[in-house]
């Protein structure tokens, strides 16, 4: 097995993890919308799932995975679908966060602990769905294809953007001194 075969198979494995976690996230979100809460009496399974999923999410798109090819063929309609889906799910997640953050018992949304637990469960399910879709689309099409090179540098290498800003500022100063 050559090095390129190993990277191809590892990229496929990450892609299939993204597929499985997206299906699990959709099931979790639908069951939460239907009224089933995440069991907070025994939070160990939830914590373990979020730790493993967080580690995979943290590794997605890092420098040492740059040579892994895309699992699917990259086409403009697929990239557009991935971007639109991520934006919709991001807005869904931010809506849940805003609902939890800006609600107070005085307003009346959290009249009971059960209602508050339901909102928190929906927020966690939306976060799980967002990160699962991110993993799926990044390994399906590669990070630069989904987010573009500028946003990719800004997210993963903020020092590069800061350095680029400082270089531009120095260039402007030199031009103004002439």
Domains in the chain: boundaries: 3-147, 149-178
**Which pLDDT score, from 0 to 100, does residue 83 have?**
87
Report yes or no on whether pTM surpasses 0.75: no
Query: How many Cβ atoms from other residues are within 10 Å of residue 13's Cβ?
Result: 12
Integer-rounded Cα Rg, in Å, for the chain is: 20
The predicted pLDDT at position 1 comes to 46
13 φ/ψ angles, rounded to the nearest 5 degrees: -65, -45
Least confident window among 22-26, 134-138, 152-156:
152-156
Across residues 36-55, what is the average pLDDT? 75
Residue 112 has a pLDDT of 65
> Per the structure block, which two tokens stand in for 6?
């190993």
Mean pLDDT of 15-33: 87
Q: Are 139 and 18 in contact (CB under 8 A)?
A: yes
Our CA angle for 134, 64, 141, nearest 5°, is 35
């Amino acid at each position: 097995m050559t090095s390129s075969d190993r990277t191809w198979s590892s990229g496929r494995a990450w892609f299939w993890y993204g597929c499985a976690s997206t299906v699990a996230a959709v099931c979790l979100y639908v069951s939460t919308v239907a009224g089933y809460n995440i069991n907070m009496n025994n939070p160990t399974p939830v914590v373990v799932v979020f730790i493993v999923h967080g580690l995979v999410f943290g590794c997605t798109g890092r420098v040492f995975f740059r040579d892994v090819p895309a699992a699917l063929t990259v086409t403009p309609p697929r990239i557009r679908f991935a971007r639109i889906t991520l934006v919709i799910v991001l807005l869904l997640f931010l809506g849940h966060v805003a609902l939890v953050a800006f609600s107070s018992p005085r307003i009346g949304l959290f009249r009971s602990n059960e209602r508050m637990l339901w909102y928190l469960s929906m927020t966690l399910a939306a976060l799980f769905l967002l990160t699962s879709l991110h993993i799926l689309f990044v390994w399906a099409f590669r990070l630069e294809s989904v987010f573009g090179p500028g946003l990719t540098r800004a997210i993963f290498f903020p020092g590069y953007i800061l350095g680029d800003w400082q270089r531009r500022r120095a260039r402007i100063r030199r031009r103004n001194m002439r």
